[in-house]
Each structure stands twice: as C-alpha cells, then as structure tokens.
Amino acid sequence: MKSVLIVDDEIDMALAIKESLKRCGFKPTVCHNPEDALSGLNLADFSLIITDMKMPKMNGIEFLQEIRRKGIFVPVIVITGFGTVENAVDAMKLGATDYIMKPFSFDSLRRVIDRILPSEDADIVAESPAMKHLMSIIREVAKSDITVLLSGESGTGKEVIARIIHKNSLRADKPFVAINCAAISESLLEAELFGHEKGAFTGAAERRLGKFELADKGTLLLDEVSEMAFPLQAKLLRAIQEREIDRIGGRFPVPVDVRIIATTNKDLLSEVKKGNFREDLYYRLNVFPIKLPPLRERREDIIPLTEFFIKKLSQKVGRAFEVSDELKSYLLQRNWEGNVRELENLMYRTAVISKSEVLLPPADEFGVRGLEFRVQVAESGSTGTMKDMERDLIIKTLRETGGNRTKAAQLLGISVRTIRNKLKEFNISDDDIKRS
C-alpha cells in the first residue's frame, strides 16, 4: 500500500483528500503545516507528497526546495489557486512532478496521481525474454540524454516505459511532462507546446508557459507524435535542433533544455514515404528506436501482469481477489489485440462484476467465449463439438438446480439473460431438463 503525505493548512480540504485516497487503497498521512512535516516525518518513506501552494509560514515552493535540499526526490504534486499558476510553474522547474488547480474534482487529482505512481512498479512485470531484454536496453539508454522513439501497438505501455526511462535518468529529480499530440487540435497544440504571451490572441489573458518550458531540465514526452499536423512539425523540428522555442506572440526565443522521448503506434518511416511526416523530423526523433512487443509475443508476462493488476484492485476495494487456474488458462488463449491496456481493463471489469473473490473467465463480458471455455474445462473428457458440450453442461446444471435459472447462472458464472439466450439458441425445452 503506497503512503501519501498531504500538507495543507485548510483542514477540510486535507481531510477530504485523505478520505478519498483511503477509499482508493492509499495510506494517507495529513500534516497541516510544512514545518511539522519536515521536523516530525521521514519524508523519504512516502511514495508521494501532495502540498498546497499557499500556506502561512512556509509556502509550497519553499517546502519543495527544502525537500530537495535534503536530497529527497519523492514525487510532489502542488495544489495551486488560479492566481498562483506562475508559482506552480516555478515549482515544476524546481522539481515538482505536477500541479493541479483549485477548484478540482478528486477524479482529476486521481488522474494526476495515476500518471505518477504506476511507473514505480511497472518495471518489475517483465518475465518474458522479450521484456527482460527490453528492460536491459532501457536501463542503459536511460543513463544518457539520447532522444528515444518508442513504437508499438496501442496499449503496449509506451508511456510507462517513457516514465521508467526518465525515472532512471540523470534528470529523474526534474519534471516529466507529457503531451498527447493526437488529443489536441493543431492550433491549440502549438500553444500547449510553446506557450504564449499575454494578448497574443483572443482569450490570451496572461502569459502561459508551454510544455517545453515546463519540462526544462527534465523530460518531454511527445505521445503519438505521428498525429501532429504537418505544418507544426517544422516548428517542433526547430525547437529540437536549436534547443529554443518561440512563444506565440513572443519577441525573443527562449532557450530550453529538455530530453525528448516520442511515441507512435504507426510506422513512422511509412508515414514519411506517404508524405504525412517530415523526413528530417523523423531522423531527429529516431536517434534510438525501441519497439515494444505486443502482449501476444510476451505471453510469459500475461499471468504476472494479471496478478499485478488484481493486487492493485484488491487494495483499492478491500477484497482479496484470486485468479483461478481456469481464468489463467483462458487469458493465455486470448489474442490481446488491445495488449496490456486491454488486459488491465478486462481484469478490472471481471473483478467488479464478480460475486466471488475467486475470479473466473468473464462469460458475461464476452458472451459465448467464456462459457465455451468453461465447458471445455468441465467436460474435457467428453466427445462431440464444443456446442454439444456447452448444451450438455447447461442442461446438467439446470437439472442440478431443479430448473432454477438464477442458481444455474450463478454456478456457471453467467447472467440469467445468457441462460435464457442459450436455452433459445439450443432449443432446450423443460422436458429436456426434466429427463434423467
């Protein structure tokens, strides 16, 4: 269970964050002023520190400076009000991991936390030869400042790997800033990357620093860089080559020192040949290419990953889930087009709808596939087609429950609706169930 320190002089706010974190499986500790936290706690014992910016005697920046001066590099999230955004940017430059603006929902805070903490454990889930080899490469490349291009199918964990590279680099105590190039329109993406001056365009009420400046001395992740509009690619190329950026509406270039990691789920060289991606930018990004294998090519990791996800979920909801041998076999047979993300989502859905702590294949989620697999396991000595065995198992279970469809569905791990559909599909009558 990860420990989180909350430092906030507003008692109600601190307690609200504490209770929310407890419900999500964290172990929160509250301090109402930074002085007590520095004198009474070993801050290195915490996985994360959340601190308010504006506090009476020592503000959030001073607290962060003192933490770093002591040589403690625990991730720090700064909570800031609208009027102190510039201070939050300063905090990022001093080594804060991220910031969040008031007012905020707990969901938005949780998303920030999830971006920071998963990388703490992700590098241990590597049992397959492919991933062990990949991790050995990553440990070496992390030590340098070389630009890395991570490619692979969606859901293979490219951002997780990017965070691991940053965490093991000489820039680990500096900001890690990520931007999804596919999620933002061309006009907004330029402002997000390079920032803008006050009055640069309608609605620019104040100066805003872009991701390049926020990541200064740290790492900038260009997620799904292949989706960036062609005209903007030229400006990105210049920023990487010249190590300086031009804010929109700015008069002078601003020097920046960032390490670039880019990700793509496309073949960038093919995109170059199609005219969708600049060739010069491709070679600037493709300095050290790393291709992540899909989950179906690293099957030795499927069960360790499953157990990792289930352990996290068990801690969050307070239920000790177990992965049955039947479920393990089922997972190993799947093709995993969505890769690790698909596996994680499937495990969460399976656990949420399960009435038992022992998890079985998700028949409800995937219709006949889960049920067919149960039949294969339960009737492995039978003859006939899979459909025949499935029909026989349904009839057998209904006979054992005296025709009670609800009890039969529970025994089979499927819904009553699925039972009804199967009775219709296989034309099973009440007489079929009554026959001995």
Q: Identify the sign of the CA torsion 237, 242, 245, 246.
A: negative
Residue 258: left (phi > 0), alpha (psi -120 to 50), or beta?
beta
Give Cβ neighbours of residue 130 (< 8 Å, ≥ 6 apart).
293, 297, 298
Higher pLDDT, 263 or 210: 263
The domain segmentation of the chain, as residue ranges, is 3-107, 119-293, 297-434
With H, G, I as helix, E, B as strand and everything else as coil, classify residue 347.
Answer: helix
Higher pLDDT, 272 or 117: 272
CATH fold for the domain made of 297-434:
Helicase, Ruva Protein; domain 3 (1.10.8)
Percentages (nearest 5) of helix, strand, coil residues in the chain: 50, 15, 35
User: Rounded CA gap, 96 and 87, in Å?
Assistant: 11
User: Rounded CA gap, 97 and 167, in Å?
Assistant: 11
What mean pLDDT comes out for the span 365-393?
Answer: 51
**How large is the C-alpha radius of gyration of the chain?**
26
3-107: what CATH class? alpha beta
Give Cβ neighbours of residue 429 (< 8 Å, ≥ 6 apart).
none
- Whether 413 shows a pLDDT value over 70: the answer reads no
User: Rounded CA gap, 241 and 284, in Å?
Assistant: 8
- Whether 87 shows a pLDDT value over 60: the answer reads yes
pTM: 0.60
By the 10 Å C-beta count (0-12 exposed, 13-18 middle, 19+ buried), 262 is classed as: buried
Higher pLDDT, 189 or 186: 189
Beta pairing, strands 254-255 & 176-180: unpaired
119-293: what CATH class? alpha beta
Looking at residue 367, what is its pLDDT? 41
Looking at residue 386, what is its pLDDT? 54
What mean pLDDT comes out for the span 132-150?
Answer: 91
pLDDT tens digits for range 93-131: 777 888 888 878 887 888 788 777 754 444 457 888 889
Helix (H) or strand (E) holding 264: strand 259-264
Q: What separation in angstroms does the CA of 18 have from each of 11, 31, 49, 433?
A: 10, 11, 12, 55
User: Rounded CA gap, 117 and 1, in Å?
Assistant: 12
Mean pLDDT of all residues belonging to the chain: 84
With H, G, I as helix, E, B as strand and everything else as coil, classify residue 196.
Answer: strand
Quote the percentage of the chain above a pLDDT of 90: 38
Domains 3-107 and 119-293 share a fold: yes
Least confident of 26-30, 74-78, 284-288, 313-317: 313-317
Q: Give me the residue label for tokens 């909350």.
A: 6
Looking at residue 141, what is its pLDDT? 93
- Whether 334 shows a pLDDT value over 80: the answer reads yes
